[in-house]
Amino acid sequence: MIYYARRNENAGRSHWSRGAQVERYQRNFWFYLLGRLVSLVGSGIQQVAIPLFILDLTGSGTIMGTFVLVSNIPRIIFGPFAGVIGDRFNRKKIMVNMDLARGLIILSLALMASIDGLTVGILLVAQFFVSALDIVFDPATTAMIPDIVPDQKLTRANSIIQGVNSVSYIIGPALGGVLYGLFGIRAVFLANGVSFIASAISEMFITYRQTTRRTRMTIKSALVDIKEGLAFLKTVRGLLLLLSFAMLTNFFISSAFAVVFPFFAREVVGFSSRQFGFLQSSWVIGILLGNIILAAFLSKKSPETLFKTGVSAQMGGFMLLGVIAAPLFIQILGGPSWIYFSVIASIFLFTGAYNALVNTPLMTAFHRRTPTEYRSRVFSVIALLAQMTVPLGAMLFGVALDYVQVHWLFIVAATGNAAATIVFLSIGMSRFLAPVASVEVSQKTGSVEPGAAAEPAPEPKSSA
C-alpha cells in the first residue's frame, strides 16, 4: 500500500509538472505573440508612410534608393556581432531593451514632425539607428522561439508566428495609408513609437531563463564566435547554395519592391496613399492564406516539395507583374482605378500565398538544425548574407528610376529572379530541406564537426 501510494504521489507530481510546463509555454508564447503583433502593426504603418512621405517631399527615386541603402547598411556593419550578442546575453532583455530604444527614437521623430523640424537628413539618421537596433533585436528574437516552445510544437508555432506577422502587416499598411492620408507623418510616427513601447511591456511578462553562456564579450571573443557560426554553416548540406540564391533573388526582387514599386504606385500610376497601403496589405493577406493552407492541409508534405513549388510560383507572379506594369496596360485598365488596383492586388495575393510555402519550412529547418548556443549568430549571419546585396540593388534601381521607364526595371528584376530560380533549382538548391546527417558540436573545443547519419526529427502531427 505504501509503495502504491508513493507511486501515485510521484505520478501526481509528474502530471502537475507537465501541466505547469504546458501552462508556462502557452503563457510565454502568447506574451511573445502579443508583443510581436503590436510592434509589427506599428512597423507596418510606418513602412507604408515613409516611402510616401519621401516621394511627396522629393519625388526622387535616388532619394528613395538612398533611404533603403541607409536602412540596410547597419545589417552589413553590425549583423555578425548582433548574433554574438544574442548568444551571450539574455534574449528576453535584448527584446525589451531594443523595443524601448526604438520606441523612444520614433517618438522623437513624431516630436520633430509636430514642430515642422523633420527633414530627409534627420529621417535618414534616425533610420540608421533604428535599423541598427533592428539588427540586434531580430536574431535574438528568432533564436528565442525554440527556448520557449517545445520541439514537437515548433512547426505549429512557426506557422502561428507567420500568421501573426501576416495579420500585423495586413492591418499595419492599410492603417498606415489611411493615417498618412488623413493626419500626416506625425500620426504615423506616434502610432509606431507607442506600439514599440507597448511591445516591450508585453515582453516583460515572459518567463525566460537564459540558456546560453554568460561571459564577458570582447572584440576577440566576438570574432571567434562569428568564426564558429560560419564554421557551423559550412556543415549544413545545401545551405550555402541556398544563401547564394537568396543573395541574387533579393538583389532583384527585394530591391525592386523597396524602391521601384513605391515610385511606380505613387508617381507613375498615381495611386492614393490608401490604395498604396491596401496593395501592401494584399501581399501579406496572400502570405496569411498560404500559412493557413500550409497548416491545415500541407503540413505533412515534403518541405523540399513545398519549397520548389513556392519559388517556382513566385517566379511566375513576378514575371506577370513586370508585364502588367507596362504603360499600355496602365492605360487600358484605367490607371489609378480600382480595376487596375484589383489586378495588381490579385498578383500580390497569389505570390504572397506561395511565399509562405518558402519561408515557413525554411524557418522550421533552421530552428531544428541549429543548437541554441549557436542559434543567434547563425541566424544573424544568414540574414546578413541573404540581405547584403539589397543596398547595392536599391541604389542601382533608385538611380535608374530617374532615367529609365519603370516597367523596364520590373522586367529586369523579374527576369533576373527567374534566371536565378531556374539555375539554382537545377543544381539542387532545395536539398537543404531534405533529410541530412546530424551535426555534432564538440563541447571541448567549441568546433563544429559533421556527425554520423541520423534519423530526421519526426514531423509533428497537425493537431499539435
Residue 437's pLDDT is 46
On the question of pLDDT at 78 being above 50, the answer is yes
Residue 447's pLDDT is 36
Residue 457's pLDDT is 34
Compute the distance between CA of residue 101 and CA of residue 131 in angstroms, rounded to an integer: 11
- Answer with the residue of higher pLDDT: 293 or 6: 293
Structural domain boundaries enclosing 297: 23-213+238-450
Residue 11's pLDDT is 44
Residue 449's pLDDT is 34
Kindly state the average pLDDT of the residues 65-78: 83
Q: Which amino acid is at 376?
A: S
pLDDT in tens, 175-196: 888 888 888 889 889 988 998 8
Q: Would you tell me how many other CB atoms lie within 10 Å of the CB of residue 120?
A: 15
Q: Which of 192, 29, 168 is nearest to 113 (CA)?
A: 192
- Evaluate whether residue 462 is within a structural domain: no
- Evaluate whether residue 430 is within a structural domain: yes
Kindly state the average pLDDT of the residues 77-103: 80
**Residue 57, CA distances (Å) to 60, 116, 187, 388 in order:** 9, 13, 17, 28
| Helices 2-58 & 273-297 angle (0-180, nearest 10) | 150
If pLDDT is split at 50, 70 and 90, which confidence band does 244 have? confident
- Evaluate whether residue 304 is within a structural domain: yes
Residue 343's pLDDT is 94
If pLDDT is split at 50, 70 and 90, which confidence band does 433 have? low
- If phi > 0 it is left, if psi is from -120 to 50 it is alpha, else beta; for residue 363 that is alpha
Number of domains in the chain: 1
Residue 432's pLDDT is 65
On the question of pLDDT at 214 being above 60, the answer is no
- Evaluate whether residue 352 is within a structural domain: yes
CA R_g for the chain: 23
- Answer with the residue of higher pLDDT: 459 or 329: 329
CATH code where residue 54 lies? 1.20.1250.20
- Evaluate whether residue 222 is within a structural domain: no
Compute the distance between CA of residue 442 and CA of residue 373 in angstroms, rounded to an integer: 12
Average pLDDT over all residues of the chain = 78
On the question of pLDDT at 254 being above 60, the answer is yes
How many residues in total does the chain contain? Answer: 464
Residue 216's pLDDT is 58
Compute the distance between CA of residue 274 and CA of residue 181 in angstroms, rounded to an integer: 7
Strand partners, 440: 449
On the question of pLDDT at 91 being above 60, the answer is yes
Is residue 241 within 8 Å of residue 432, measured between CB atoms? yes
On the question of pLDDT at 104 being above 90, the answer is yes
- Exposure string of 123-162, with b = 16+ CB inside 10 Å and e = fewer, is bbebbeebbbbbbbbbbbbbbbbbbbbeeebbbbbbbbbb
Cell 492586388 identifies what position? 345
Kindly state the average pLDDT of the residues 159-174: 78
- Evaluate whether residue 286 is within a structural domain: yes
Compute the distance between CA of residue 173 and CA of residue 338 in angstroms, rounded to an integer: 18
- Evaluate whether residue 394 is within a structural domain: yes
If pLDDT is split at 50, 70 and 90, which confidence band does 2 have? very low
Is residue 260 within 8 Å of residue 406, measured between CB atoms? yes
On the question of pLDDT at 52 being above 70, the answer is yes
Residue 330's pLDDT is 92
Is residue 335 within 8 Å of residue 295, measured between CB atoms? no
What is the value of pTM for the model shown? Answer: 0.72
pLDDT in tens, 442-451: 333 333 333 3
If pLDDT is split at 50, 70 and 90, which confidence band does 416 have? very high
- Evaluate whether residue 4 is within a structural domain: no
8-state DSSP, 325: T
* Grid coordinates of 221: 571573443
- Answer with the residue of higher pLDDT: 15 or 341: 341
Percent of the chain exceeding pLDDT 70 equals 79
- Answer with the residue of higher pLDDT: 142 or 310: 310
If pLDDT is split at 50, 70 and 90, which confidence band does 431 have? low
